[in-house]
Structure 1
Amino acid sequence: MPTNCIPFRDTNYFSAFICDYLEQKPELTAFYDRFPKIENFKNQLDDKQESFPLAHREVLQNVLEIQYKNINTSELTQTNISLLGNKTTFTITTGHQLNLFTGPLYFLYKIISAINTVKILKEKYPSYDFVPVYWMATEDHDFEEINYFNLFGKKIQWNRADGGAVGIFDTDGLDKVFEIFSSEIGLGKNADRLRLLFKEAYLKHTNLAEATRYLANELFSSYGLVIIDADNKELKKLFVPYMERELLEKISYQHVLPASGKLHEKGYKVQVNPREINLFYLSKGSRERIIEKNDSYAVNNTEIIWSKNDILQELSEFPERFSPNVMMRPLYQEVILPNLCYIGGGGELAYWLELKDYFEAVEIPFPILLLRNSVVIKSDKQAEKLKKLKITDRELFLKQYELINHRVRKISNIDINFDEQRKHLIDQFKRMYELAEQTEVTFINAVKAQEVKQLKGLDVLEKRLLKAQKRKLGDHVKRITILQNEIFPNQSLQERTTNFSEMYLEYGERLIPELMKNLNPLLGEFIVLTPENT
């Protein structure tokens, strides 16, 4: 599989915030502990080993064994669950929402990044064991973000009543989604495999969490992936002390707000702003914020209200009813997992970078933050067309109007660049200024006005010539436009819009092994791939 790598900044699809992090700009060093270099993992290992209790390992292992009780999984995944009981075993974690049929392609890239990081670490530190973990965001309540996926430019959507944590949503209505999906993907071995995956996941499991676990397990269990649903009473018992401090001290707000302010002062966009209390309360069909009101605690938009003693008793007896929000979920993860590194997208890492002071305040090691692999996959046909059009991978990332203008200028038999004429004009006006300086100011102003007018005139002529050449080379422009739109749907990164099923239809069972072979999570660059059709 031919590959090409491009710096993230040069793609123009990633924020200055994340690019500065990847380039280890001094402005951001105070907001993380260790940068994701292979040699930095040793100290991270030591810190986590020293701080992570064996009792937490026992609870984690027991919960996972129960969650996997009725799942047909690989021997490697079962071995990894067993290894988590050992103090020399650590996790590499990525998390994602329960998007319908995985949602965009980057669901695959996140998990592959975690699995490949584990392989790299095992080679470097053979006396330790490492386990790739997919954290299912079962407590998330943003159903509209996950209830669809894109297929061939169409939106395949699941319509149902909304409300509460999505993990416990029943799968009613997904039979209709399956019918639409099935009719769209056509015939053939790969299409049949996709139909079976969808049917087994969503039509034979009772809720969205179980369906997503089945699907992720089918795709990745052979690589030892461990999938965790942290919406669990026994796991949340481990987190009770931190939730108590949140309620009584507003500790995350006290430490994240100043960090967010410092990032803002440095010119970075703050991804998430903390609330005074960063916990939700879960009840049937509802996940609502806990707020402090008149020396009491209440659940927003409900009649539920507690005194301080009552809410602490509720937390002690029913920790499963309390749910961390985006600010506290990272801490929850690091409390219940022997984790070294979190792998996420740019938006995720941006809010993690607000949390270091909070972690230090509660004395939990801050994990290494690693940007997941990002990929564009070109088909053989697309690669051949690009070659004929003489478009490089870097040019492909230009905005469409820039790409077209750039290519038209290159292939035109007319030089569509009036820089030489501009230089000549400016030189002519220099002599006019020398003359004007011997007269009065009004004449100097007249010369300036005339220079501006004539330079603008050259700009207009250049644009008109470019436009004329675009018309003349209309077929070439059309081919460029169609090709870029195929590779960058809606002028967005393929990985953010396209569902994996489109790639699976073309590459079948080769897709994930080829990605696994070519994605290096520590590379720190954007990857362009061309799978070879064999």
Structure 2
Amino acid sequence: MRTETYSMPGAQPLTEAYIHRTDSRIDSLYGYYAGAEKDWERRLERLDRSGAVRASAAEAADVLRIYNEKAGASPETFSNISAIAEGAPVVVGGQQAGLWTGPLLVIHKAVSIIGAANSAAEQLGRPVVPVFWVAGEDHDWDEANHAYVVTAEQELRKLAAARPEGSRTSVSRTAIATGTWEQLLSELEQALPHSEFKPALLEELSGMAQKANSLSDMFAMILSRLFGEQGLVLIDADDENVRRLEAPMFRSMIERNDELERAYTSSAEEIKRLGYTLQADVTPGSANLFLFRTENGNERTLLHKRNGMYQDRKGQFELSAGQLLQIADEQPLLLSNNVLTRPIMQDYLFPVLATVLGPGEIAYWALTGEAFRVMGMEMPIIVPRMSYTLVEGTIAKNMDKYELSFEDVMTRFEERKAGWLKEQDGLSIEQRFDEARASFEELYKPLLTLAASIQPGLSKLGDTNLQKIVEQINYMGSKTVDAFNKQFEAATRQFDRIQLALKPLGKPQERVLNMASYWNRYQTAWVGKLLEAPYSRTGGHQIVYL
């Protein structure tokens, strides 16, 4: 198996400072550091002492068994759930449910969770369970409803599910009709190139679709299929049984809401004071909790505090603190976390040894440290997600053919492509047209001076005339270059295929392409390659050759 390490540029300065330890001032924002072995031991000791502040491990395991059974869980997963029931710590990470799992970074996060759990178990000599948190309570349909695949014509195609009519509720509560699944599968079948694994892939997805009521259901079943042997445990944040377990923490969040708000505000001010940009909104008066409004078709509404009451943004409805506490006790299914309270809820449900986060998540988790302390808790170890680029054999072969490095593709692809085409130009077309244009201007400008000396008004006309003739020379030169380059259409297609495979839409592969393209061609062997690739607790990027 061939892999290479690549230093992918970071877009989040706060995250980069955490990963590379370049700014000791931010240590207090996070507490632990994933790269320090002793911190894993310290965190485990803390978990062993703090079991009383969390939900019952046995009850959590019961909920997990029910959910994972519906997702088609493996014996390894059920064994890990039993370990949770006995108090095993977990490594957790999550993502919003996307069509056919969404972009590849979702798969990378699951691989990273498994890698971190295995690494921790080896160091600590105790079972550590990998848990994937399906963020099914999120309601941003446009983020979840699509997948990009590469077609047989080597084109990028976006497959998307239209949002069913009705209010903006969570993805897990948005029902997908049988006819919609059939249409999506038909579109996927048409888009994917023919392969020996395609019929089996479509058959598996079709079988899942018959049981899936939502994108979240399908998402969970696919992850269970891909990572069952690794014992990955799944949880949907919007599962009604999970909500019942969360009720006591919702009550605490409501009772201490003003303290939490001050904690988030304090952390935000500290981050800004240190010179970093906030990656999540800290809005004055926000309760950082959502309410599903049954009178509005379970629309998910962010709660704001005004005059001692909880309201929607426009103030069209309101609840007292007492009414909201009653909902927490009796109808917790109506409540939902936002990005700032979700970390606390996650730590309440599980003994979280570490959480695997992407670059943006690491940056906004810095806002939560003080809030953890308000609740008598402690932020877990932050583990940067690994990222990968899958390079197929034909892509690698063409990169070698045109002497393109991975760095070339990621940072200067168009320049290298244009340079290669220019190198093929033995006729020096561009140079000869440049020389002809310069010669023409040299011969013609004295004539313009002569014309202007006879009649000054001819000067402007002469300049316009010169410009038009130069434009025609340039136009002819451009058409000649295009005609020459057509001789290399096959090479151009190979260049474009490289870019499509590794940097589609000008973005890293993991942020665009869907896993179906690789499952179609390699069955699930590509997942095994990712699991076998070098793993680091401090993240990094691996180029994996298939």
1:130 equivalent to 2:128? Answer yes
Distance 1:307 1:18, change over 3 A: closer
Task: Tell me the CA shift for residue 410 of structure 1.
Answer: 9.6
Q: Distance in 1 between matches of 2:250 and 2:505?
A: 45
Secondary structure of 1:269's counterpart equals coil
Which of 384, 397, 405 is the equivalent residue of 1:371?
384
* TM superposition shift of 1:131: 0.5
Q: 1:235 aligns with which of 220, 245, 251?
A: 245
- Return the alpha-carbon distance in structure 2 between the equivalents of residues 45 and 410 of structure 1: 60
Matched, 1:145 2:158: no
Residues 1:161 and 2:194 aligned together: no
Match of 1:240, SS state, is helix
Q: How far is the alpha carbon of 1:100 from its aligned partner?
A: 0.9
Secondary structure of the structure 2 residue equivalent to 1:139: coil
C-alpha displacement of 1:21: 2.1
Structure 2 residue identity aligned to 1:43 = R
Distance in 2 between the 1:17 and 1:395 partners? Answer: 27
The match for 1:339 is 352
SS of the residue corresponding to residue 245 of structure 2 reads: helix
Partner residue in 2 for 1:455: none
- Residue 72 to residue 151, structure 1, CA distance change in 2 (3 Å): closer
Worse-matched range after superposition: 506-515 or 396-405: 396-405
Query: Could you say if the C-alpha distance between residues 375 and 72 of structure 1 is closer, same or farther in structure 2, counting changes exceeding 3 Å?
Result: closer
Residue in 1 that maps onto 2:223: 216
Pick closer, same or farther for the CA change 1:177–1:55 going to 2, 3 Å.
Answer: closer
Query: 1:418 matched to which residue of 2?
Result: none
Note the alpha carbon deviations across 1:185-230, whole angstroms, 9 max, x for none: 2444311222123212223222333332222211111110100123
Quote the residue 1:34 is aligned against.
32
Go from structure 1 to structure 2 and tell me whether the alpha carbon gap of 1:216 and 1:483 turns closer, same or farther (over 3 Å shift). closer
The answer as to whether partners of 1:169 and 1:207 remain within 8 angstroms in 2 is: yes
What are the residue-to-residue correspondences of 1:173-212 with 2, within 5 Å? 173-212=180-219
Q: Residue 350 and residue 367 in structure 1: after superposition, are their counterparts in 2 closer, same or farther (change >3 A)?
A: same
Distance 1:295 1:520, change over 3 A: same
C-alpha distance in structure 2 between counterparts of 1:269 and 1:174, whole Å: 41
AA at the equivalent of 1:148: H
The correspondence of residues 274-285 of structure 1 with structure 2, limited to 5 A, is: 274-275=282-283, 276-282=286-292, 283=294, 284-285=297-298
Give the equivalent residue in structure 2 for 1:526. 541
TM-score norm. by structure 1 comes to 0.82
CA distance in structure 2 between the aligned counterparts of 1:303 and 1:497, rounded to whole angstroms: 39
1:358-437 matched pairs, under 5 angstroms: 358-404=371-417
Mapped contact 2:288–2:341 kept (Cα < 8 A): yes
The correspondence of residues 43-192 of structure 1 with structure 2, limited to 5 A, is 43-53=42-52, 56-70=56-70, 72-87=72-87, 89-126=88-125, 128-152=126-150, 153-159=156-162, 160-161=164-165, 163-172=168-177, 173-192=180-199
1:434 corresponds to:
none
Q: 1:23 to 1:71 in 2, by over 3 A?
A: closer
| Shift, 1:315, TM fit | 2.3
SS in 1 for 2:128: strand
- Offset of residue 495 of structure 1: 0.6
Number of the residue aligned with 1:486? 501
How many angstroms does 1:15 deviate by? 3.0
TM-score, L = length of structure 2: 0.80
TM-aligned CA distance change 1:285 to 1:302, over 3 Å: farther
Structure 2 counterpart of 1:41, which letter? W
Report the secondary structure of 2:516's partner residue: helix
How many residue pairs end up in the alignment? 472
Aligned CA distance change for structure 1 residues 4 and 252 (closer, same or farther; 3 Å):
same
**Matched residue, 2:520:** 505
Q: Which moved more, 1:393-402 or 1:149-158?
A: 393-402
Write the mapping of 1:228-377 to structure 2, written as runs, cut at 5 A: 228-231=235-238, 232-247=242-257, 249=258, 251-275=259-283, 276-282=286-292, 283=294, 284-300=297-313, 304-377=317-390
How far apart, CA to CA, are the structure 1 residues paired with 2:248 and 2:66? Answer: 17
Cα distance, 1:393 vs structure 2:
2.1
SS in 2 for 1:166: coil
Encode CA deviations 1:250-283: one digit per residue, 9 max, x unaligned: x332112232233233332211012321011013
Indicate the SS of the match to 2:44: helix
| 1:497 Cα deviation after fit | 0.4
Q: What are the superposed Cα offsets for residues 478-515 of structure 1, whole Å, 9 maximum, x if unpaired?
A: 75455223321111111100000111122212111111
The answer for unaligned runs of 5 or more in structure 2 is 151-155, 427-477
Per-residue deviation, residues 94-123 of structure 1 (Å, max 9, x unmatched): 111110110001111100111111211222
- 1:314 to partner: Cα distance: 2.5
Task: Tell me if structure 2 keeps the 8 A contact 1:112–1:519.
Answer: no
Q: Is the 8 A contact 2:529 2:544 kept in 1?
A: no
Identity %: 21
Equivalent residues of 1:7, 1:526 under 8 A apart = yes
Aligned counterparts, 1:450-469, within 5 A:
none
Q: 1:261 to 1:63 in 2, by over 3 A?
A: same
RMSD over aligned CA atoms reads: 2.8
Q: 2:15 aligns with which of 13, 18, 21?
A: 18
Q: Is the 8 A contact 1:48 1:365 kept in 2?
A: no
Contact 1:171 1:202 in 2 (8 A): no
Distance 2:327 2:313 in 1: 16
Matched, 1:226 2:226: no
8 Å Cα contact 2:383-2:538 kept in structure 1 = no
Change (3 A) 1:406 1:360: farther
Task: For structure 1, list consecutive stretches of 5 or more residues without a partner in the other structure.
Answer: 414-466
The SS at the match of 1:290 is strand
1:16-70 Cα shifts (integer Å, max 9, x gaps): 3322222111243232111112612111111122112375212211211232354
SS state at 1:84 partner: helix
Give the Cα–Cα distance (whole angstroms) in 1 for the partners of residues 268 and 82 of structure 2.
39
- Paired with 1:219 and 1:479, the residues of 2 have a C-alpha distance of 31
